[in-house]
Structure 1
Amino acid sequence: MVMKRRIILFSGKGGVGKTSVAAATGLKAAERGYRTLVMSLDIAHSLSDAFDLPVSLHEKNRGRPIRVGDNLWIQEIDVQEEMERYWGEIYKYFAAVFRSAGLQDIMAEEMAILPGMEEVVGLLYLNQYIEENAYDLIILDCAPTGEALRFISLPSALDWFMDKLFNFERTVMKMVRPVAKSISPIPLPEDSYYAAIERLYERLKGIDRVLLDHQVTTARLITNAEKVVLKETQRAFMYLCLYEIAVDAIIVNKLFPTGVADDYFKKWVTTQAGYIEQIEEYFAPLPIMKIELFDDQIVGLQGLARMAAALYGELDPTDILYTRKPYEFMSADGGYVLKIHLPFADKEHIDLYRDANELIVRIGSFKRHILLPHKLLKARVAGAEYRGHDLLIRLEHPDDGSSTTDSSPPPEATSTRA
């Protein structure tokens, strides 16, 4: 067996069966000899429950990996432990801010765990395990779609903050702290707080390249054959493409067997069959993998093995099941075109901005900062259109002699609608 480095994200709406599918995938990979870790990024962990481990309701092994079988570990992140273990200065500062607002110590410490901390901890562990070559396969059991997208977007957001704001904010605080400290209604962060953020950022360096390496990282979307769930799956697919994450399969879970004869469930079988047709049409040519409902709950190694066999058969679950680059730079007519695969997008809700050395693409409440290659730093956006399922952005240098007569550079931030 050729060892490989793989990361697979399982994402989808809450309740579709992400944890069971992630756990079953991990078990199948471990049986094939891959050193496998299944990591839960959901604050409401249920991995231990899926493996039917004899632990208490609140036992998380202090956020450390637990061996559950040959070549197989699981990890349920405990963000409280991580804050106390590694983020002392940051944690103390936010707790002090909340105490100054009148909250009692215990409540202030709880409030100091800000939204997004679980995702940051997950990224830290992921980067650590990659650097240590600790596992061949890391499976990320993501939180429901919104939180999963926050996890994926965090590296680029942190890069932007550190590049654009961090040094400025730190310098300003050094200047005003001596004067403002005595009159500020809340505690001001000491320089040790900024040093802690800097150390945190250093520990995350390189993780964005791993997540965007389509030979290493892919996402698999779990859905059900229902209208509401399918809509969210379409949105998740679109936003994953926006953040340049390759999707290599759609997994349709909890299907009623076609041979169900009970009158009560016949309507369900018909309804699901209709949505299966839609799923196959919407997501083609992606592989559509299907799992029927079992005759009992899927828990423990035996139950997860049944699910893995039904899902993968003889397939190697670590294989990349489909390959398509969400982003592609192409030469065209003396200029360049950036093609972004954005299925299910509405062109009326796509906004495009050119700002300094990057492009900013916004769809609804999500946006992506795209750092331009060096040779395109002076290029301007000559136009954009949404064609088929792709956003095509044309970039031209001011001296390209194109049909645009004004050869002056654009303002620092310009907006275009596709």
Structure 2
Amino acid sequence: MRKNLLTFPNKKCCRTNSWARCFMPLPDLWKSSPDQLKDKQVQQLIAFAGGGRLLDDSPCSTEFRSFLGSVSSASLLTYADQCLEQSFQDSGLALQDIVNEIGARLGAHITNGRYRGTVKHTGFDGLWVFPSGHAIVAEVKTTDTYRIDLNTIANYRRALINKEVVAEAKSSMLLVVGRQDTGDLEAQIRGSRHAWDIRIISVDALARLASIKEEVEDPSIVQRIHNILIPHEFTRLDAIADILFSAAEDIRQEDGAGSTIEETKSVPLVKDGRKFIPVAFQEACVQRVQSNLGSSFVRQSRTGYVSADKLVALSCSASKEHNPDTSPNYWFAFHPHQRAFLKEHSQSYVALGCGSSERLLLIPFSEFETWLDGMGTTANDTRMYWHITIFRKGNSYILRRSKGEEPIDLTRFVLPT
């Protein structure tokens, strides 16, 4: 019998039809009853998974990693903090899985390493391959109290090079550490022969990079974020400053275009001499889509989401209602990189929140894409996007397109409340 169990007040077990105790894989528990797990400590979550111990090639490891792939990036940072602040069995192994999942949120293809190295297996903690083709051999350390053997980490990379898993010219090493105070470790790296092949970052800073990546849309900015993790000579700081400027500019331009940010930021605005905070409902739209499709989505960018099983993609945008008293309408911008993102998946959707999460359109991308040629566009030296303009009359929704193009009735795509 599985030793992991979870108590569900006033709920019968789906397997035994008995009250109070239910045996179920951790990812299924999250999908069916997320409220039961959202306040659990990471050591409790591990106890619910498989046999309750993180072992290589174990059901516990498989379930725990799958669960991490379903939660928000903010939850990942919370679990990482628990691993660092509380000493419990397998806390270092759990942190290894969490850091690898943060790497996945940054856009890397992740190969999870071994918890414990063996003669037959290279002992790296994680191998991250970014879309550019650059590979990072990740090593996770909860503390730098003890001196780290950099040669051991370098040998992991060398073994992968010898096996032609990675190329020497397009690979490097990354130390991810729990502490912010890493002066001794930095000095150790600078004084070693590996100084140009290895970089160091704290778990907190890595999570913040993932958070920035989720707030922008421009793929070129995402590429610059990836480059921070790759060894470069940073005597000149222009590249780092450019990332900060570009991220802020991307958000500002989206705000000016009227897409998403206007409805989700919490900074008070001024209207008619009074301060007000716009209603944030994009995440509420995503929650409704999840319920409708039966999928759990993980955020990839400001508007992009992917289901936990990586099979379904979603682009979700929100617009305030313009001219509500006379001619209610909603305006969105749709970018080429959003189109490319959706085309990567065989099942994908465009969700448009019209004034609130209660007025939500869910359109299969395969059909939505056929309408793009008839939509108006804006193009300049830095970007191009399509205009999505929707007018509402009662319970009917009409997509207005360029002059001479037939409007499209979208009413059939409204999600029932």
What's the TM-score once normalised by structure 1's chain length? Answer: 0.31
Structure with bigger RCO (C-alpha 8 Å, 6+ apart)? 1
TM-score, scaled relative to structure 2? 0.31
